[in-house]
Amino acid sequence: MRLHQLVAGLFLVIAASVQAAPVAKSIPADSMGLSKTSVFDTPEPQVYQYKGEMAGQNKVLPRAYLNAPPQIPHDIADFLPITKDNNMCIACHTLPDQWGKVREPGTATPIPPSHYTDLRRDRNKVTDHLINARFNCNQCHVPQANTTPLVENTFGKRSR
C-alpha cells in the first residue's frame, strides 16, 4: 500500500466514525437544577413555618455534633431582621454572669465566652463585650422549619 492510499484510507475511517458519533441530547429546561421547574419560570418559594413556641417555653434541641452552633428552639419571627440598632437576641441572651451556672428552666442560655473572644486578634482572651463577628446570630444559629430536604443528608450516619 502506498502512503497516499494509507492516508486516504485513514481519512475514510475517521470520517465514518465522526458521522457515527451520537449527537448530544439537549437537556430539558425543567431538569437542570434541584428545582423541578423550568429554568425560565420564577417559582413562588414555599412559605416555611418555623417550629417552636415563644422563647422560654421550649427545651433546647440536641446538638448536631460537638461544637455545632445550637439550633434555636424558639420562634424568632418577631426578632428578625437583626439590624445594627436592633438585636433582640442580645437583649435576652447577654447573661455573662450566668456562665458556668445551671440554667433555670425558662431562662435564656447565656451567649458563651467564645462569642466574647476575638479569634482574629487574641484567641486566648475573653473580653467584656460581644465580638462584632458574632453580631449576626442567625448567620450560624437557625430554627427548625417544616422543610423537606432537597437532598438527603447522610452526615454522621457513617461515622457514628
- Provide, rounded to whole angstroms, the least separation between the CB of residue 146 and ligand HEC: 18
The CA distances from residue 79 to 54, 89, 128, 132, 133, in Å, are: 11, 7, 24, 18, 19
- Provide, rounded to whole angstroms, the least separation between the CB of residue 147 and ligand HEC: 18
Binding site for ligand HEC (CB under 6 A): 55-58, 60, 67, 69-70, 72-74, 76, 79, 88-93, 106-109, 111-112, 114-115, 130, 134-141
Which residue type, as a one-letter code, is found at position 80?
L
Q: Is the dihedral of CA 88, 92, 95, 99 positive or negative?
A: negative
Residue with Cβ nearer ligand HEC (7 or 140):
140
Residue with Cβ nearer ligand HEC (29 or 68):
68
Residue with Cβ nearer ligand HEC (35 or 86):
86
- Provide, rounded to whole angstroms, the least separation between the CB of residue 52 and ligand HEC: 7
The CA distances from residue 71 to 15, 57, 67, 90, 97, in Å, are: 62, 15, 12, 16, 23
